[in-house]
Amino acid sequence: MASLPGIGPGRAALLARLGIVTVRDLLLHFPRAYRDCRELTPLASVEPGERVSVVAEITSSRQVRLRGRQSLALITLADGTGTLQASFFGRGFLARSAFVPGRHAFFTGRVGQYNGPCLSSPEYELLEEEDLQSLRQGRILPAYPLTEGITQRMLRKWVLAALDAVAPGLAEPLPGELAERMGFPPAAEALRGVHAPDSPEAAAAARRRLIFEELLVLQTDIQRQKRLLRQENRAHTHRVGGELLRRFQAEIPFALTAAQRRAVEDILGDMAGPTPMLRLLQGDVGSGKTLVALHAAVVAADGGLQTAFMAPTELLAAQHALVLEGLLAPLGLRTVLLTGAAEGRGEAHRAAASGDAQVVVGTHALFQDRAAFHQLGLVIIDEQHRFGVAQRELLVRKGPRPDVLQMSATPIPRSLALTVFGRMDLTVMDELPPGRTPVTTRYIPQGKTAACYDHVRKQAEEGVQAYVVCPLIEDSIAKQDTRALLTHFSELSAGPLAGLRTGLLHGRLPAPEKDAVMRAFKRGEIQVLFSTTVIEVGIDVPNATLMVIENASEFGLTQLHQLRGRVGRGTRPSFCFLLGKPRTPEGRERLETLCKCSSGFDIAEADLRMRGPGELLGVRQAGLSDLRAADLIRDARLLDAARREAERLTAPDCADAGNLADSLFRPQSDAPAPA
């Protein structure tokens, strides 16, 4: 580092705060954004509503005090073609500290209105004479994360010097065949492309390669460890590709999606191998995970082994039991339901212990002491994020090293961490069955509530079924909340929804009653189902295509997405209406996100962004803070691809495994110091 121009002990200490100690660190300090100076807008042609980048001189700047303690920095810019204002809400101090008249600066942001066109809180960078020159050459400049005392200009200069010193001699760590197949640029080109790109596309391609390379390095290490650790074979063997599986596949009433086929392939591959499966199946709400999991259960049954299928709620367990029975009974397999409240619990226990039942569906009752299995070969855990690690472990101990398949609709950092640390394999299903139309989601302002219920009534009269969800938390509903739900239910049933067949479902109902209500809804006897969040997970009634969520902003984002996942299961267009005025800006943002995004992966990402890194802390502690380019949430799919490649590259018979030891991302190695 000391060999780079202008880095003495003082600046070295500042750089260390950014985690930059070696030349390698410097090269792995990636830009967080780019200043695209190829298309700067002259001030004269700035239009409200557009996103623009401008370079201009600051001609005046002042601090405006607003009501409360807020203040605003308001500055005027000029570039010879015209003038423009820029405002910095809540940051009035900038008027004096940063925006000195006479200085030039780069601004990028959206043009709003504030006494005429005005850039509102743009991102900015103060410029020196030499920056102006590179800007006028129309370059794309990297914008790095900074710390006090270190400027963009310094970092740009040092990074370029480091690139010149290191890039020419940089080894190519990826196998040539892989780089070609993935369409990746060579290592040196990628490094240059991310720091000094010729186009935004080149920057994106470069970054994609670097992310992949980092994940591949991580995954090959893990795979090697796993090969060492997993020398312990399972106690039983599965019969993959047997008669039952063949009959089951012939019986499935629709074609599997490509994602489902890949997932089944992964799972059957695991079960055919000698060591127990430990796999997490991640797929958005409605992607068809249950059917995939059933393949595993049928394979187990083919080999005379039992499956325990665990769901987080009684309602969901009951529904699964019904679905599974429908598909498995024709194969001569017996499914029983074992929950704390289910009728015939004694018989279910007996059938599980004697082996009469091949599949036992249930809630956490499955791992309680009393529950015993004859020969448990497979454990399936649905909505795994609802269970604690300890609960899951208990169930797994009910058999001699059973295979374990966990399913989740939410990409959760903790499970990803597990994936990354190699305890679990991951399959991501990023596809919904064909014919689904995305759920149209709308926020309904308070004045329109009546119109909304009017719409529900009309739709119901035309044969559509609807859910009305009220924000009470299952299991912890206080008596008064239940009363509130009951009151609301009777008011709506007697008022706007009068004449419709309505039903009521909440956690406090006795199980048989819950079951009866759910069956009636499934059969279409109930048109509008009022419910708490008991229906949050898994419930599948394709004819229900309308959902109203009361006080929607009281729910978390992922929970809202799960709830919404109850509709959009049939081929008819589905709608989700969000009621209630948000009480906080975060609440409003959640609703906006939900209206905008339909993919669970986007939602999970937004959720993490909004809730901050707190949620990610578990991952940080696990040591993943070392990741430079990759983000386990954002890059889940690349992670999956990297894992597949790593498996191939670490296999004993792999002909060309590349030279990953030379990768810049390998923590123990460092780039050669520049001469």
- Contact positions vs Mg ion (CB under 5 A): 538
How far apart are CB 105 and Mg ion at their closest, in Å? 52
User: Of 297 and 371, which CB lies nearer to ligand ADP in the complex structure?
Assistant: 297
From 180-188, 256-264, 457-465, 648-656, span contacting ligand ADP (CB under 6 A): 256-264
How far apart are CB 571 and ligand ADP at their closest, in Å? 10
Task: State yes or no: residue 326 binds ligand ADP (CB under 6 A).
Answer: no
User: Of 256 and 331, which CB lies nearer to ligand ADP in the complex structure?
Assistant: 256
Task: State yes or no: residue 289 binds ligand ADP (CB under 6 A).
Answer: yes
In the shown chain, the binding pattern of residues 393 to 412 toward ligand ADP, with x for contact by CB under 6 A and - for none, equals ----------------x---
Task: State yes or no: residue 287 binds ligand ADP (CB under 6 A).
Answer: yes
Q: What is the DSSP string of 331-388?
A: GT--EEEE-SS-TTHHHHHHHHHHT--SEEEESGGGGSTT---SSEEEEEETTGGGS-
Other beta carbons less than 10 A from residue 55's beta carbon: 23
Which amino acid is present at 564?
R
Of the candidates 601, 278, 307, the one whose C-alpha atom is nearest the C-alpha of residue 431 is: 601
How far apart are CB 435 and ligand ADP at their closest, in Å? 7
How far apart are CB 254 and ligand ADP at their closest, in Å? 4
How far apart are CB 408 and ligand ADP at their closest, in Å? 10
Task: State yes or no: residue 257 binds ligand ADP (CB under 6 A).
Answer: yes
Of the candidates 29, 75, 72, 79, the one whose C-alpha atom is nearest the C-alpha of residue 55 is: 79
How far apart are CB 598 and ligand ADP at their closest, in Å? 14
Written as six digits, the tokens of 456 are 């529900």
From 14-22, 288-296, 441-449, 651-659, span contacting ligand ADP (CB under 6 A): 288-296
How far apart are CB 423 and Mg ion at their closest, in Å? 23
Beta bridge partners of 442: 577
Q: In the range 14-53, which residues lie near ligand ADP by CB under 6 A?
A: none
Of the candidates 315, 322, 359, the one whose C-alpha atom is nearest the C-alpha of residue 340 is: 315
User: Contacting ligand ADP (CB under 6 A), which of 569, 628, 643, 666?
Assistant: 569
Question: CB-side exposure of 80: number of CA atoms within 13 Å?
Answer: 3
Task: State yes or no: residue 433 binds ligand ADP (CB under 6 A).
Answer: yes
- CA–CA gap between residue 264 and residue 326 (Å, rounded): 20
Please report which helix (H) or strand (E) contains residue 505, including its range. strand 502-505
In the shown chain, the binding pattern of residues 524 to 553 toward ligand ADP, with x for contact by CB under 6 A and - for none, equals --------------x-x-x-----------
User: Contacting ligand ADP (CB under 6 A), which of 142, 185, 288, 582?
Assistant: 288
Contact 647, 223 (CB under 8 A): yes
- CA–CA gap between residue 527 and residue 140 (Å, rounded): 58
How far apart are CB 432 and ligand ADP at their closest, in Å? 8
3-state secondary structure (DSSP) of residue 112: strand
Q: How many residues bind ligand ADP (CB under 6 A)?
A: 18
Which partner from the list Mg ion, ligand ADP, none does 254 bind, CB cut-off 5 to 8 Å by kind? ligand ADP
Contact 147, 17 (CB under 8 A): yes
Written as six digits, the tokens of 97 are 């500290």
Q: Report the first-to-last Cα separation within the chain, whole angstroms.
A: 11
How far apart are CB 276 and Mg ion at their closest, in Å? 23
Q: Tell me the residue number closest to ligand ADP, measured at CB.
A: 288
In the shown chain, the binding pattern of residues 267 to 286 toward ligand ADP, with x for contact by CB under 6 A and - for none, equals ----------------x-xx
Which partner from the list ligand ADP, Mg ion, none does 82 bind, CB cut-off 5 to 8 Å by kind? none
Residue 400: CB partners within 8 Å, gap ≥ 6?
Answer: 234, 235, 236
Beta bridge partners of 528: 466, 502
Query: Apex CA 662: angle with CA 661 and CA 663, to 5°?
Result: 95
Tokens 């020398």 correspond to 231
Query: Apex CA 629: angle with CA 592 and CA 108, to 5°?
Result: 55
User: Contacting ligand ADP (CB under 6 A), which of 98, 256, 353, 509?
Assistant: 256
Which partner from the list ligand ADP, Mg ion, none does 455 bind, CB cut-off 5 to 8 Å by kind? none
Binding site for ligand ADP (CB under 6 A): 254, 256-257, 260, 283, 285-291, 409, 433, 538, 540, 542, 569
